[in-house]
Amino acid sequence: MKRNIKITGIGSYLPKRIVDGAEIDKIIGAKNGWSEKKSGVKQRYFVTDETASYMGAEAAKKAIADAGIELNELDCIVSGSGTMEQAIPCNASLIQEQLGLQHSGIPAFDINSTCLSFLTALDMISYAMESGRFNHVLIVSSEIASVGLNWSQNESSILFGDGAVAYVFSKTTETDSSHIIASRMETYSAGAHLSEIRGGGTKIHPRNYADDTKEDFLFDMDGTAIFKLSYKLLPTFIEKLFKNTNLTMDDIKMIVPHQASASAMKIIRKKLSVNEERFMTIIENYGNMIAASIPMALYEAIKQGRVKRGDKVFLLGTSAGLSIGGILFEY
Amino acid sequence: MKRNIKITGIGSYLPKRIVDGAEIDKIIGAKNGWSEKKSGVKQRYFVTDETASYMGAEAAKKAIADAGIELNELDCIVSGSGTMEQAIPCNASLIQEQLGLQHSGIPAFDINSTCLSFLTALDMISYAMESGRFNHVLIVSSEIASVGLNWSQNESSILFGDGAVAYVFSKTTETDSSHIIASRMETYSAGAHLSEIRGGGTKIHPRNYADDTKEDFLFDMDGTAIFKLSYKLLPTFIEKLFKNTNLTMDDIKMIVPHQASASAMKIIRKKLSVNEERFMTIIENYGNMIAASIPMALYEAIKQGRVKRGDKVFLLGTSAGLSIGGILFEY
């Protein structure tokens, strides 16, 4: 269903510390250049003293300024992140606090579908906005991957980076053509354990942290299996998403994929028969930023002038779960 | 905004192990009868080998059978829980797996606002259902509080219990009068640290678990401060929620509050000038089940015949965040 909302503001926050390939090679004991060649990631950002709520709030302040609204004009704050800052309360509440909105009453909650959290948050909130519940909604994806990386699993540890992106979405006015055209999500828990952190929740409480259990508290990924499953499911998923839209892939100005890995994105791009110009890739400079990847790539596409008002954009990603998600919209 | 959806199925799962007041008294070293007198909780359930996804799936199977639909008729699975089973992926995906729906593609994600997660999930999903995105949605609140209790904090440790509740919500047909009348949520992060678990996320990773940090990984609550803040905010919140509904508290057949604590509920009930019959209390037999409290109390009200089709019901709660949430609906 068409939802008449538009992006009115965007902001990002990147940690102070830049970590290049050489530093990663040193950590994992590889020869210089190996990690960059293997992952396609030249640099990523790792937090030092930054928290997820701090980064989220810094990104949010920029997005709110960009939207030209006051902080207290926000009607809702949603955290769309795959990681939590602390077990309780939810991230959105901590971001509200960092924004100085402690007494505002602006509703704040989290939507989590791991790497697709930003998409799911946007997808669900757009219905509430279309129905008139909210006028301006802040969606923040703020992720700290670095703290949970398993440095003995090179496949994943060389890929990830930290950072935050925030968007203000607003109901459109009569003169706007911006809108969400279609959206879709599918979850196949046959892949639920292909990328996971088993510990940290109620199943394996932190009190069980020990030398022989410590990997349960770190990210564990079977990238090849994820890719195989996603690759098989993707064509039908896209077909169903485009159905009833009167659009084909040719109508899309920019495909903004989850920055899962450089090699996976390359294969997907070829599968979709799309040239590099229409397929946004930022993994080289940021790594995989979990749920912040798609909104950061979209932000870069807009900043670089590669997506302009009126252009049709296709956000597409996979996540732990295993889920596939997509949103077609006119910017 | 009116949303034409109704409850078509409900199910619950309670852990095998019942823990009575005497057992709690023994754990905390109090004299027999103290914890029950202080908390109003006669018994609660604690998991032994059950996981949150197992409990959630068991509750869900009953809800789906109660709705008279097949598993694969579900259009969406939402976990509305304040605790996570593991850090990655989200609970809903693990529940989908336990339901044997691994290859179904049914979208699965989490909505988290701690104790209000069920309400927030219902509130947001109802707009997507009203817009035609989903026909049948499963919302599951499955909580394991026991693993995170701090037994040196009597105020909170004597209150909580584990368990799961699941609801199927369906779009109404023309003959149904069931609908959501109004809903509202407010967040005041001035109270963000009045109830929290500081550790377990990206801020204090489980690797920091040690004798002098272990309390960071346990629930920490200042009940008096929470109550004071909530009590002050509640009248205006309720006034705003009822505004434009043409309803007053007298039109409500049953108020179903979050089962935060027996004493807090009693004061709130008197503040609302409502008699015991119209104010659902189940804390005596279940304790505070985090986000599962409100849906469990509603389930009990329906089972006991105290809420019937056509009755107007008011779900109301507070949560870590600090948030206040309410949903007015016709059952």
pLDDT of the residue at A1: 81
The residue written with tokens 């899962």 in the block is A260
Average pLDDT, chain A: 96
DSSP string spanning B104-125?
SB--EEEEEBTBTHHHHHHHHH
State whether B289 and B143 are in the same domain.
no
To the query of whether residue B115 is one of the catalytic residues in this protein, the response is: yes
B48 in Cβ contact with B174 (< 8 Å) = no
In this complex, is the C-beta atom of A227 within 8 Å of any C-beta atom belonging to chain B? no
pLDDT score for B1: 81
Helix (H/G/I), strand (E/B), else coil: B46 = strand
In this structure, the answer to whether residues B97 and B203 fall within a common structural domain is no
**Does B212 lie in the same domain as B124?**
no
With cut-offs at 50, 70 and 90, classify the pLDDT of residue B173. Answer: confident
CA dihedral A138, A139, A142, A145 (to 10 degrees): 180
Contacts of B93 in chain A (CB under 8 A): 113, 187, 189, 192, 320-323
Tokens of B180: 């959501």
Whole-number Cα distances in Å, B78 to A192, A283, B119, B120: 15, 30, 12, 11
> Over 90: is that where the pLDDT of B149 sits?
yes
Domain that holds residue A310: 179-330
**Residue A175, pLDDT score:** 87
pLDDT above 90 (res A23): yes
Does B203 reach chain A within 8 Å, measured CB to CB?
Answer: yes
The dihedrals phi and psi of B327, each to the nearest 5 degrees, come to -135, 125
Whether residues B40 and B141 share a domain: the answer is: yes
Residue B106 forms contact with A (CB below 8 Å): yes
Whether residue A265 contacts residue A317, with contact meaning beta carbons closer than 8 Å, is answered with no
pLDDT in tens, A272-288: 999 999 999 999 999 99
Q: Which residues of B touch A111 (CB under 8 A)?
A: 109-112, 124
- A310 contacts A331 by C-beta, under 8 angstroms: yes
Question: Helix or strand or coil: residue B60?
Answer: helix
Domain count, chain B: 2
Is A218 found in the same domain as A312? Answer: yes
Characterize the bridge pairing of strands B17-20 and B5-13.
unpaired
Same domain, B9 and B157: yes
| Chain A: closest CA distance from residue B299 (Å) | 24
Residues of B with Cβ-Cβ distance to A196 under 8 angstroms: 86-89
Which candidate in A90, A115, A136, A154 is catalytic?
A: A115
Mean pLDDT of B111-124: 98
Task: For chain A, give the secondary structure using H, E and C.
Answer: CCECEEEEEEEEECCCEEEEHHHHHHHHCCCCCHHHHHHCCCEEEECCCCCHHHHHHHHHHHHHHHHCCCHHHCCEEEECCCCCCCCECCHHHHHHHHCCCCCCECCEEEEEECECHHHHHHHHHHHHHHCCCCCEEEEEEEECCHHHCCCCCHHHHCCECCEEEEEEEEECCCCCCCEEEEEEEEECHHHCCCEEECCCCCCCCHHHCCCCCHHHHCCEECHHHHHHHHHHHHHHHHHHHHCCCCCCHHHCCEEEECCCCHHHHHHHHHHCCCCHHHECCCHHHHCECHHHHHHHHHHHHHHCCCCCCCCEEEEEEEECCCEEEEEEEEC
A73 burial type by CB count under 10 A (0-12 exposed, 13-18 middle, 19+ buried):
middle
Domain shared by B197 and B121, yes or no: no
Q: Please give the pLDDT value at position A174.
A: 81
Taking residues A259-264, report their average pLDDT.
Answer: 92
pLDDT over 90 at A265, yes or no: yes
Check pLDDT > 90 for residue A122.
yes
Q: What part of B 156-195 touches A (C-beta under 8 Å)? A: 185-190, 192, 195
A119, A152, A171 — which closes off a domain?
A171
Facing residues of A179 across strands?
A330
Residues B184 and B142 in one domain: no
Taking only the tens place, the pLDDT of each residue in A26-35 is 999 999 999 9
**CA–CA distance from A164 to each of A53, A79, B283 (Å)?**
9, 11, 40
Residues 6+ away with beta carbon under 8 Å from A314: A249, A252, A254, A255, A256, A326, A327, A328
Question: What is the phi/psi pair of residue B95, to 5°?
Answer: -70, -40
DSSP sequence for B217-284: GS-EE-HHHHHHHHHHHHHHHHHHHHTTTT--GGG-SEEEE--S-HHHHHHHHHHTT--GGGB---HH
Average pLDDT score over residue span B113-133: 97
pLDDT digits (tens, 9 = 90+) for A173-223: 888 999 999 999 999 999 999 999 999 999 999 999 999 999 999 999 999
The last residue of a domain, from among A171, A188, A209: A171
| A96 in contact with chain B, both atoms CB, cutoff 8 A | yes
Contacts 24+ apart (CB under 8 A), A103-106: A103/B188, A103/B190, A104/A71, A104/A72, A104/A74, A104/B187, A104/B188, A105/B186, A105/B187, A105/B188, A105/B233, A106/A72, A106/A74, A106/A75, A106/A76, A106/A77, A106/B186, A106/B187
**β B323-330/B312-319 pair status:** antiparallel
Mean pLDDT of B186-192: 98
A233 neighbourhood in chain B, CB within 8 Å: 105
Which of B109, B132, B203 minimises the CB distance to A86? B203
Mean pLDDT on B238-253: 96
Same-domain check for residues B184 and B115: no
Q: Indicate if B183 and B140 belong to the same structural domain.
A: no
**Residue at a domain's end among B141, B171, B201:** B171
The average pLDDT across B145-173 equals 96
* pLDDT at res. A294: 98
CATH of the domain at B268: 3.40.47.10
Q: Are residues B119 and B226 in the same domain?
A: no
B9 and B113 in a single domain? The answer is yes
Query: Does residue A81 contact residue A75 with C-beta atoms inside 8 Å?
Result: no
- Whether the CB-CB separation of A259 and A81 falls below 8 Å is answered with no
Instruction: Look over chain B and give the mean of its residue pLDDT values, rounded to a whole number.
Output: 96
Of A210, A221, A179, the C-alpha closest to A82 is A221
| ipTM reported for the complex, 2 dp | 0.97
